[in-house]
Amino acid sequence: MGVPAETASPPGAPQHVAIIMDGNGRWARQRGRPRTFGHRAGVEALRRTVEAAGDLGLRYLTVFGFSTENWTRPPDEVNALIDLLRLYVRMDLDRLEREGVRVRIIGDRAGLEPDILDIITRAESRTAANTKLFLTIAFNYGGQCEITRAARRLVADVAAGRIAPEAIDATAFAARLDTADIPDPDIVIRTSGEQRLSNFLLWQAAYAEFVFLETLWPDFGRADLEAALAEFRRRERRFGAVVS
């Protein structure tokens, strides 16, 4: 991202929440159902969360939908996850557009199927003028991959004489990430009790507050989002400085 830490939102007023939506598989197993059942319930939780985020006045919501590592899952599950992006955009795009949500997809687009690329372009272009809530879906996303692609862009820009090596700083680097014009997350929430970043927003989460919840993602709703925001308000953010 491009907004330096000192310009992030003041304490108590988070503007950007990022979520690792974890626990779909366990939620399904608890019910004796296939993992894909959990992912479908996960889409319902995403719907509830987008609505709650808008109601609670958040400006940016970023969710981890499919990681560059998820390709190693069984092919049926990979296909189901990709299908869910198709389904989500097909079913929800009209409503998102109407309700002022701007949709962005971040991640590596190389190698994605043409129809997925088409869906991504359509979702982004149809909502491009919206400003109420910026919903970013990380799809085929990995933080290391994103940083590597940014480094490649930077090297290409140096080679083409667009930027001098001495001019490379954190701002120049962040401007070449997928999240270029999105402020850094104030909070990263991970559900299901796991306490890892799993390659999500590695650069951008430098000063994020982490909130780990036991709730499995399909059970997540407004109350959990409010609990995470309340936890954030109890934290003291110092951005590397000391508070006297």
The residues that touch ligand FPP, with contacts defined as CB under 6 A, are 21-26, 35, 39, 42-43, 46, 65-66, 70, 81, 84-85, 88, 137, 139, 192, 217
The residue whose Cβ lies closest to ligand FPP is 25
Taking the complex as a whole, the smallest distance from the CB of residue 3 to ligand FPP amounts, in Å, to 25
Q: Which is nearer to ligand FPP, 81 or 189 (CB)?
A: 81
> Are 81 and 161 contacting, i.e. CB atoms less than 8 angstroms apart?
no
Q: Closest CB to ligand FPP among 26 and 235?
A: 26
* Helix 114-126, helix 75-98: angle, nearest 10: 20
Annotated catalytic residue within 70, 130, 157, 219: 70
CA distance 8 to 85: 30
16 DSSP β-pair partners: 60
Residue 22 is among the residues annotated as catalytic for this protein: yes
Catalytic, 70? Answer yes
> What is the identity of the amino acid at 13?
A
Helix or strand holding residue 176 (H, E): none
Minimum separation from the CB atom of position 126 to ligand FPP (A): 16
Residue 187 vs 216, nearer CB to ligand FPP: 216
> Exposed, middle or buried by CB within 10 Å (0-12, 13-18, 19+), for 129?
exposed
E strands, 99-132, in order: 101-106
Q: Which residues are catalytic?
A: 22, 70
